[in-house]
A and B are shown apart, each in its own frame.
Chain A
Amino acid sequence: MIAYQFIDHTADIGVEIYGRTRRELFTNACRAFQDLSLDRKEAVTGREDVLWEEKITVHGSDIADLLVNFLRELLYELNAKKRVIILCAIAAVSNNKLTARLLFESYSPKRHTLKAEVKAVTYHGLCVEKTGSAWRAKVIFDV
């Protein structure tokens, strides 16, 4: 199963995300966001790169809202705090609540190339659905 794929939208960028479980879906959403936002120029080397470890809790009125709120957190970490996620471990995820452990390194132009200025995660055309035994989500980012 592929983790995610980018899809066409006239002005912005959409992504379809897949997962066998909710946890995998949200982990892949994090990967897709990272891929859309930046490139890492080198592999993580040594402990000195790991600067923060944080537990986050995100709420949503339903699973689609939860996904948007989760991605909004990731976007804020990168754009405002200049922190790049190097590991996202989803501890628990239901339709309304997610807890995760995130490991960050600081953004550095030497190590990272920002690919797109992601302005926001939109609700437009948002969907999260379970078809058969797998989850599929569609999110459009404003870039």
Chain B
Amino acid sequence: MSDVFLEKLDDHRWLVPQSGRMRVPGIIYADEGLRDLLHHDDSIRQVANVAHLPGIVNYSLAMPDIHWGYGFPIGGVAAFDLETGVVSPGGVGYDINCGCRLMATNLTLSDIKDRISDITNSLYGKIPSGVGSTGHVKLSVRDQKKVLEEGARWAVKAGFGSGQDLETTEDGGCLTGADPAQVSARALERGKNQLGTLGSGNHFLEIEVVERIFDDTAAQAFGLRKDQIVIMIHTGSRGLGYQICDDYLALMVKHQQETGIELPDRQLACAYLASPRGRNYLAAMACGANYAWANRQILMHITQEVLEKTLRMAPRELGMRLVYDVCHNIAKIETFTIGGIEKKLCVHRKGATRAYPAGHEDIPARYRDVGQPVLIPGDMGTGSYVLAGQEKALAETFGSACHGAGRVMSRTQAVKSSRGRSISRELADRGVLVMAGSKGTLAEEMPEAYKDLNAVVQVVHEAGIARKTARLKAVACIKG
């Protein structure tokens, strides 16, 4: 339970007042209903804790999908001055560049209504998923280094997908500054056989149908239309990313005293951005980010092959194309206007999605008139949203929006409340075919374990951070 008092700023924002050693106040985006959920856990305290870190600019922010994480809350956004500020591996999370990739097709629901079971079975058979899953892509030491340096670019060169895919991937699927020399042997070992795998937990591959269009212009630019079949992939950097975060967190905890920074939670361990340790972490983190982009690029390619084979369609007929790929666990150097002056800052997004508005030079030319696609997956039963970044994101949230619905129930609670029920049957009744490696995962990930995605998205829409463009309904879901 949180003991921090929240002050209402307007219909969508709550102030966490500056107190004690906080360097700035916090702001949480939520409506009244979502605000009430915050008091069930310690996430408000975590927003306040992040505000203790040196060099934090303006506010410690949290999106409406905020929930209790470790160190930073999930849904947390914080930007730091490059000279006086810090980078914190806990502000990125263990799953570096966990993110979403949305692919459009030429298919409509009526085209595949009778084949959904076949397609899902084939995808489940070909896409390695589940705890500790290993992939078919075997890498030499040299190739592994290339993956870390080049990300999705390596995957395209290796024959997974096309160069066009890179145009609609955040940062072109390759974060600059990656240095494999900063990645430990342990991290390389944990990532060795996991490229091209989905993983477990909340990671998934979902077949979805465009249920509703809210904004015709943006939807048209993104190539989305009503009743169209699309595929959403949610996964990240697998064991490699977990180990990179773990290595640097342990290192920073060990040397925290040297920095002279007092922390309210060890998980906030950090290093100055200008220090060798801070720079090394960013170089290693970029390797993790690139591994994740290569991973999603490979998964997209496998998905395309499976669909073409199962439906006996030529690539042109299937028309699979990448709408966008965004990361939601990352620390990046981006430019913002602070007090009228353009400034480079290190923005941490831990469970938050970049949401650049129309006109921004870092979004693909074809989307520049409408804004960057923002992909927001929900629970298995609800589906997902596609939004378009808006001006207020740049002005208020360091170009960031929410990343999902956000958990409201712990895994243990979810398992308890699922006893005596068949979650897969319940989902089938709602028109969603689910295949999962274990019943435990299904129970933990049941729809009630999450906040109402519609409410979460409505907050970012009404707050002017990202505009609702399309709602996608889940048809079939593969869980690890």
Contacts and interface: CB of A to CB of B under 8 A. Distances in A.
Given A68-B250, A122-B70, 12 more contacts: A10-B409, A11-B67, A11-B68, A72-B246, A76-B186, A120-B245, A122-B90, A123-B90, A123-B249, A123-B266, A123-B267, A123-B269
Contacts of B242: 119-120, 142
Contacts of A117: 131-132, 199-201, 480
Contacts of B412: 6, 8, 13
B190 A79 contact: yes
Contacts of B11: none
Nearest to B187: A80
B480 to A, nearest CB: 8
CB-CB nearest 3 A-B residue pairs: A124-B70, A123-B266, A114-B131
A83 to B, nearest CB: 12
7 contacts: A79-B239, A114-B132, A116-B131, A119-B94, A123-B267, A124-B69, A142-B242
Contact of B70 (A12, A69, A79, A81): A12
A45 to B, nearest CB: 24
A31 to B, nearest CB: 18
Interface string B182-213: 00001001100000000111000000000000
Contacts of B246: 72, 120-121
A115 interface: yes
B191 to A, nearest CB: 9
Given A9-B68, A10-B408, A123 B131 contact: no
Nearest to A13: B411
Contact of B71 (A65, A72, A82, A124): A124
Nearest to A69: B250
B41 interface: yes
A23 to B, nearest CB: 23
A142 B199 CA distance: 14
Contacts of A82: 132
Contacts of A114: 130-132
B74 interface: yes
A61 B265 CA distance: 16
Nearest to A115: B440
B410 A8 contact: yes
B241 to A, nearest CB: 9
Chain A interface size band reads 20 to 34
Interface in A84-140: 114-117, 119-126, 140
A143 interface: yes
Q: Which residue among B130, B243, B409 has the maximum number of chain A CB atoms within 10 Å of its CB?
A: B243
Given A10-B410, A117-B132, A80 B269 contact: no
Given A115-B440, A117-B199, A10 B407 contact: yes
A72 B242 CA distance: 11
A143 B71 contact: no
B413 A143 contact: no
B253 interface: yes
A125 B186 contact: no
A110 B253 CA distance: 39
Contacts of A126: 266-267
Interface of A: 6, 8-13, 61, 65, 68-69, 72, 76, 79-82, 114-117, 119-126, 140, 142-143
B95 interface: yes
B95 A119 contact: yes
B20 to A, nearest CB: 19
A51 B62 CA distance: 48
A125 B407 contact: no
B70 A80 contact: no
Q: Which residue among B68, B95, B189 has the maximum number of chain A CB atoms within 10 Å of its CB?
A: B68
A124 B239 contact: no
A101 B184 CA distance: 25
Contacts of A6: 412
B254 interface: yes
Q: Which residue among A13, A82, A125 has the maximum number of chain B CB atoms within 10 Å of its CB?
A: A125
A142 B200 contact: no
Interface in B20-35: none
A17 to B, nearest CB: 17
A11 B410 CA distance: 6
A55 to B, nearest CB: 19
B165 to A, nearest CB: 27
Contacts of A9: 68, 410
B70 to A, nearest CB: 3
A81 B190 CA distance: 8
Nearest to B72: A124
A142 B200 CA distance: 12
A108 B426 CA distance: 33
A114 B190 CA distance: 16
A82 B239 CA distance: 13
B94 A79 contact: no
Interface in B423-480: 438, 440, 480
B451 to A, nearest CB: 11
A1 B89 CA distance: 37
Contacts of B71: 122-124
A114 B246 CA distance: 21
A87 B448 CA distance: 39
A31 B277 CA distance: 34
B131 A140 contact: no
Contacts of A79: 132, 190, 239
A107 to B, nearest CB: 8
A11 B132 contact: no
A114 B243 CA distance: 19
